[in-house]
């Protein structure tokens, strides 16, 4: 685990202490990933002489990012992404355009709702990506890290994810504190 990933994960954990919120994140992240790739799966693209979808092309940069953060977690997410991309391609093949967009909207609403419920009701705070936008990409890593720990792997991740709160303040975040300390231009 590289130091950057450890710092980001430590900050991310502060917003995800309640197990119910974590469970909702599993559902929400899967739904939102599928919603993001579903419409792109309908768009066929030829890249380097290979026929693929725009969805596959779109996820490559973020998969590389996850692999660079942590090889094992990134590889597991790659496997999950293959399953979700395959599911999206299957859906696109079996429903019309209206059906695909309807499913996409339902997935977005359910995914966002699960995130809002998890943070507002169970954590009683705003989502971490409000304070640190890079956390949008950390959710899948967090969920996969929780899975690895549940399966008895990666004690190093367990140490980061299971440590006590670093601050009693609910609006604490190193990123948010840095933002508050920066001078703001007057309008």
Q: What is the pLDDT of residues 91-132, one digit of tens each?
A: 999 999 999 999 999 999 999 999 889 888 998 888 877 887
> For residue 52, which phi and psi values (nearest 5 degrees)?
-150, -170
> For residue 135, which phi and psi values (nearest 5 degrees)?
-65, -15
Are 35 and 108 in contact by the 8 Å Cβ rule? The answer is yes
pLDDT above 50: residue 1: yes
Q: What mean pLDDT is predicted for residues 143-166?
A: 80
Q: Of 8-12, 107-111, 135-139, 161-165, which gets the smallest average pLDDT?
A: 161-165
> What beta strand segments (E) does 6-149 contain?
44-47, 50-53
Residue 183 pLDDT: 53
Residue 92 pLDDT: 95
Q: Report how far residue 158's alpha carbon sits from residue 155's, in angstroms, rounded to the nearest whole number.
A: 5
Annotated domain spans of the chain: 18-165
Q: Report how far residue 111's alpha carbon sits from residue 127's, in angstroms, rounded to the nearest whole number.
A: 13
């Amino acid at each position: 685990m590289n130091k950057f990933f450890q710092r980001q994960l430590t900050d991310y954990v502060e917003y995800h202490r309640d197990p119910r919120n974590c469970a909702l994140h599993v559902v929400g992240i899967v739904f939102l990933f599928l919603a993001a790739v579903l419409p792109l799966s309908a768009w066929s693209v030829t890249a380097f002489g290979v026929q693929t979808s725009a969805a596959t092309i779109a996820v490559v940069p973020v998969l590389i990012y996850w692999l660079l953060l942590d090889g094992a977690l990134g590889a597991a997410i790659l496997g999950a992404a293959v399953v979700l991309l395959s599911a999206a391609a299957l859906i696109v093949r079996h429903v019309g355009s209206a059906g695909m967009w309807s499913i996409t909207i339902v997935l977005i609403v359910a995914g966002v709702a699960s995130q809002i419920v998890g943070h507002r009701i169970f954590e009683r705070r705003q989502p971490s990506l409000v304070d640190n936008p890079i956390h949008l990409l950390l959710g899948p890593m967090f969920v996969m890290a929780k899975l690895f720990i549940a399966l008895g792997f990666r004690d190093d991740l367990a140490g980061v994810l299971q440590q006590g709160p670093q601050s009693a303040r609910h609006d604490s975040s190193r990123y948010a504190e840095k933002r508050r300390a920066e001078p703001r231009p007057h309008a």
